[in-house]
């Protein structure tokens, strides 16, 4: 059948948008990895999902690339602030970066609270139902228990990835605001 050509336009359906984002993000990260490997380039990408969750990719390491970018950014700004650029532009840029830092801090706090809520829910959810020796479970209960554990593991991995991405962006933003 082959590949179909799709029209490039914004996806309206939120579920379709999330699926499209996930697939395209994987493809983008794969292409970035290939570029880094083939050209011996240092590549760093930050992408925000439709739900404003950051995802990062870096080769050899996102933090190293972000630090290098920050250093080069500061060097170019020192040239600009030495009389060749307006101070208002620098102040606006600093304000924008600090505003983004505040936003990232809020997202990190929200993720932390969400994790705490999930932990409380997990502790209280159906304690009695699964509070028996595993040998006494029926096959159906074992399958259900396995599915719940997989969903829990997937949720933890997603939260871990989001927290790592937020942490990287937080470090960058804090360094830029200094």
The Cα 72–Cα 76 span in angstroms is 6
pLDDT for residue 88: 64
Is the Cβ–Cβ distance between 68 and 42 less than 8 Å?
yes
pLDDT tens string 57-79: 999 888 888 888 887 777 666 55
Of the candidates 61, 59, 54, which has an alpha carbon nearest to the alpha carbon of residue 30?
59
- The answer to whether the predicted template modeling score (pTM) of the entire model surpasses 0.75 is no
Taking 70 as the pLDDT cut, the residues of the chain under it are: 1, 75-89, 123-131, 176-178
């Amino acid at each position: 059948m082959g590949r179909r050509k799709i029209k490039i336009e914004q996806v309206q359906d939120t579920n379709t948008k999330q699926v499209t984002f996930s697939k395209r993000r994987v493809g983008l990260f794969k292409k970035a990895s290939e570029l880094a490997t083939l050209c011996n380039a240092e590549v760093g990408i930050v992408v925000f999902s439709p739900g404003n969750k950051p995802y990062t990719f870096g080769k050899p390491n996102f933090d190293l690339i972000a630090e290098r970018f920050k250093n080069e950014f500061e060097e170019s700004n020192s040239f600009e602030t030495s009389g060749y650029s307006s101070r208002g532009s620098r102040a606006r840029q600093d304000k924008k970066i600090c505003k983004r830092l505040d936003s990232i801090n809020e997202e990190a706090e929200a993720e932390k609270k969400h994790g705490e809520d999930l932990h409380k829910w997990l502790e209280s959810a159906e304690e009695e139902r699964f509070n028996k020796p595993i040998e006494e479970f029926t096959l159906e209960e074992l399958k259900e228990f396995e599915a719940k554990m997989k969903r829990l593991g997937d949720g933890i991995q997603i939260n871990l990835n989001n927290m790592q991405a937020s942490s990287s962006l937080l470090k960058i933003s804090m360094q830029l605001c200094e």
